[in-house]
Every structure is written in C-alpha cells, then in structure tokens.
Amino acid sequence: MPEPNARDSSLVACPDCDLLQHLPPIPPAGSAHCARCHARLWRHKVDSLNRTLALAVAAAFLLLIANSVPMLGLAVAGREAFTTVIGGVLAMWRDGRQEVAILVLFTAVIAPAFEIACLLAVVLAVRRPPAPAWAGRLLRAYEILREWSMIEIMLLGVLVALIKIAELATVIPGLAMFVLGALVFLLAAMAAVFDPRDAWARVGWVAGASTRPGEGGR
Amino acid sequence: MNAQPATAMSLGLAGCEVCGLVSRPLAGQPPHCPRCGERLHFRRPASIERCWALVIAALILYLPANLLPVLTTYTPLGSQTDTIMQGVVELWSPTSWPLAIVVFVASITIPLGKLIALAYLLITVQRGSPKSSRQRVRLYRMVKFIGRWSMLDVFVDTFVVALVQLKPLMWMAPGPGVMFFAGVVVVTMVAVNCFDPRLIWDLPQKECHA
C-alpha cells in the first residue's frame, strides 16, 4: 500500500471502525460499505441538490402550517378545546415542568425548523462551489441537530394521546395532524436524497485556499 | 481489502467526525479539521469515562422516572395519579393494545435495553475483547438508531395535559416523573454519542489517545 495521501478525496476512514480505505467509483444510486464493519460509507445520490431543495421548500411550508393551525380538539358536555404543538409546550410550562417544556419545544419545533433551514441554506450556497465557510458551519449544525428533530415521534405521541383521551371525551383531529403526517414523510425523503459528501466537497475550507485540493468538487 | 487492517489512527491520520475528511493532525497546537474546523481526535476524548458516568446517571434517573407519577387527573371527586407503567395498563384494551405495546417498548424496554447494551459495550472494550466486533458495532448502531423513540411518553403526557383542561369537570397535570423520564432520554442519547465505536476494533496494545 503506498503512503496514503491525505489530500486524496477518495480516501475515507470508516466512522465506525476507523479502517482506512479508498472509495471506488460508484454508479449513481449505488452505495459503498466498509470492508470490515459494513457501515455505509457513501451512497451516491442522484441529483441530490435539486431534489433536496424541492423537498426542503415543501417541508418548510408544511412546518409553518403545522405550527399555526389546531392539531387536536376535544369536545365534552358542549365545551370544545383545541391545542397546537406550541399549546402543548405552554401547558407543560404552566404546570411547572419548564425543563420538559423546553425539551418538547426544542425537539418538536426548533430542531426540525433548524434542520430544514440549515439544509435549505446549504443547498442554495453550494450551488456555486466553493461555498463560503458559513455553509460548512450550517452543514455541521444540521448533522448534529438531526438526531434531536423528533417530528415522527411526536406524531406517534399525539396518536397515543388521542386514543387515551378518546375514552373520556370526543376527540377531533385537527388539520395540523394531517400536515404533520405528510411532514414526517417529507423529512425522511429530504434526508434520503441529501448527499452530505457531495455538499462537503463543495464547501470552502476554513484552513484557507492554500490547503484546498486542486479539484473543485464534483 | 483483506490485508491486515490499516486504521487511520495507525497511520497518524484522523477522519473528521463531522465532514469525513481524512487529514494528518499537526503536532503542537490542538488539531482542527482543515475543511470544517471541527476539533480532530483519533478517538472521542475520554469516551469510556464519560459514557460510564452518563450510564450511571441515567440508571439513577431511571428509578424515579418509573416510580413517580407522570400524570395526575383531577375531577370533582378527587385526583388519581399514574406512573408510566399504569399508563400502559390503562391503554391496554381490546382495540388499543398494539399502542400499549408500543408505549411499553418505547418507555420501559428501550431505555433499560440501551443502558444494558452500553454497559456491555463499555465492559468488552475495557477488557480489550477482540470477539464478535461486528455484532457489537451492529448493536451500537441499533442503540443509536432506536434510542430517540423513548421520547414518545414525554410527547404523550405533554399533549394529554394540553388537551384535558376542562376545569372544573376534569383536568390533568404532569407529575414529577416526566422530568426524570425526560432526563433519562436525554442523558442516554448523550451517552451513546460519547461512546466511540472505533474503540471496539482497537486492540489493547495499540492504545493511543489524541
């Protein structure tokens, strides 16, 4: 094995076992797995930037709607009460569980909003490589926040809450519930079509132009 | 690639955990990834110590999370408190039992399973065990993938409380258990991120820390 060249962009270290290997040329929609631990090293995604942009714009709209219309309503003895996602956060806050309220706000509203906004900005910025360093910072924020964005878990939680309450009163599913259902699929699709390796190859290096490799991203 | 495994660390290279770039950390100053600026480590710093500390913290939080009530129901006739387990039992009915199973798995099985899995991974890494590395790294990936779903009960309690506010007929309030339970979820998620799966593959004599 020749002395590995750290400037070689096909050189990867497996994130799960640190095995150093070269990524072979991969056909579109194909993927490469670590030779030792089978972690997926890269999936060659087709038309990643355009598809991600389309899905992110749609997701941004749905998230706005989902947070501005009622999600769940309750009717008992002639009285009706509706709540939104934020309404859940406020109820927790009012009842003295501020830590839980903040956690719910973060995982159900802030993290998904950031996830979508970061990706939207990154996809737009990397169209003309090399993208400025802030695009890299946002991409990094996206990678960290993704795990804390829990729209799909919240939706399941809302369904369980609905069943629980259905024994006590008539439950009315609101528009936001259906919007959230669609958003779950959009977010999953958005993460599936986005190719972080491609995006990183188009981001300017923080260490400056002197260390940038000759090639300007694929 | 069947030759003896050459890890990035054994060649003095480090793969960036954020952007994936492989580079040679410069000696002297704390090394940063030249592309994204993230601190470079051969292995996550104090991985085993931090992970153990968080596992023990989560184990301590797990007890009040399951013993204290998460929901209190008030009616003119009095009040009733429910723990997570009582919530599962109440959800159990001929039509909604699948959801009861989902809540049970997400709230009771997953947090406990996660702690047991992390303890097993930590102990085998500390012993330098070379056995079944592939299964262990698969276990790690599964724990990382599934762990977030324990947040389910936090969301259930939040929206039940938000909706059932029909004073003076009936209203609900969150109990102290919710806070501890949310703590278990957050602490175990951070613990999983502190654990470095690359340690599973490092043989004891090759130890080296950035």
- The full DSSP string for B130-157 is -TTHHHHHHHHHHHHHHGGGGGHHHHHH
pLDDT at A137 over 50: yes
pLDDT band at A11 (very low <50, low <70, confident <90, very high): confident
pLDDT of A90 reads 92
Q: How far apart are CA A19 and CA A32, in angstroms?
A: 13
Q: Which residues are A74's β-sheet partners?
A: A81, A171
Q: Which residue from A minimizes the CA distance to B135?
A: A37
Q: How far apart are CA B159 and CA B81, in angstroms?
A: 17
Which residues in chain A touch residue B201, judged by CB atoms under 8 angstroms apart?
A: 17-19, 36-37
Long-range CB contacts (within 8 A, 24+) of A135-139: A135/A203, A135/A204, A136/A200, A136/A203, A136/A204, A136/A206, A136/B19, A136/B35, A136/B36, A136/B37, A137/B36, A137/B37, A139/A196, A139/A199, A139/A200, A139/A203, A139/B19, A139/B36
pLDDT band at B9 (very low <50, low <70, confident <90, very high): confident
Query: Do B31 and B52 fall within a single domain?
Result: no
pLDDT of B45 reads 87
DSSP state of B32: B
Q: What is the mean pLDDT of residues A150-175?
A: 89
Which two tokens mark A148? 């804390």
Say whether pTM exceeds 0.90: no
Alpha helices in chain A (DSSP H): 48-66, 85-94, 98-105, 111-125, 133-145, 151-166, 175-193, 196-201
pLDDT of B204 reads 61
pLDDT at B36 over 60: yes
The verdict on residue B61 lying in a domain is yes
Q: How far apart are CA A173 and CA A179, in angstroms?
A: 11
The verdict on residue B114 lying in a domain is yes
Query: Do B37 and B51 fall within a single domain?
Result: no
Query: Do B17 and B33 fall within a single domain?
Result: yes
Q: Is B79 exposed, middle or buried (0-12, 13-18, 19+ CB in 10 A)?
A: exposed
Mean residue pLDDT of chain B comes to 88
pLDDT of A197 reads 87
pLDDT at B1 over 60: no
So where are chain A's domains? 1-44, 47-205
Q: Which among A72, A133, A203 has CB closest to B163? A: A72
Query: pLDDT higher for B152 or A169?
Result: B152
Q: What is the mean pLDDT of residues A66-79?
A: 84
Q: Which residue from A minimizes the CA distance to B1?
A: A35
pLDDT at A171 over 60: yes
Which residues in chain A touch residue B202, judged by CB atoms under 8 angstroms apart?
A: 18
Of the residues B13, B90, B151, B155, the best mutation for testing chain A's interface (the one with the most A CB atoms within 10 Å of its CB) is B155
Query: Do B17 and B75 fall within a single domain?
Result: no
Query: pLDDT higher for B107 or B169?
Result: B107
Nearest residue to A92 via CA among B110, B106, B181? B181
Query: Do B127 and B32 fall within a single domain?
Result: no
Query: pLDDT higher for B18 or B113?
Result: B113
Helices and strands counted in chain B (H then E): 7, 6
Q: How far apart are CA A63 and CA A154, in angstroms?
A: 13
Query: Do B174 and B87 fall within a single domain?
Result: yes
- B35: containing domain: 7-42
Yes or no: say if A124 and A53 are a contact pair by the CB < 8 Å rule. yes
Query: Do B164 and B72 fall within a single domain?
Result: yes
Contact call for B201 and A206, based on CB within 8 A: no
The verdict on residue B1 lying in a domain is no
Query: Do B60 and B155 fall within a single domain?
Result: yes
The verdict on residue B2 lying in a domain is no
pLDDT at B96 over 50: yes
Number of CB pairs, chain A paired with chain B, less than 8 A apart? 221
Query: Do B120 and B198 fall within a single domain?
Result: yes
pLDDT at A106 over 70: yes
Q: Which residue from B minimizes the CA distance to A4?
A: B11
pLDDT of A78 reads 74
pLDDT band at A208 (very low <50, low <70, confident <90, very high): low
Peptide bond into A24 cis (omega under 30): no
pLDDT band at A7 (very low <50, low <70, confident <90, very high): low
Q: How many domains does chain B have?
A: 2
Our CA-based measurement puts residue A195 at a distance from the nearest CA of chain B, in whole angstroms, of 12
CATH assignment of the domain containing B98: 1.20.140
Q: What are phi and psi of B195, to 5 degrees?
A: -70, 135
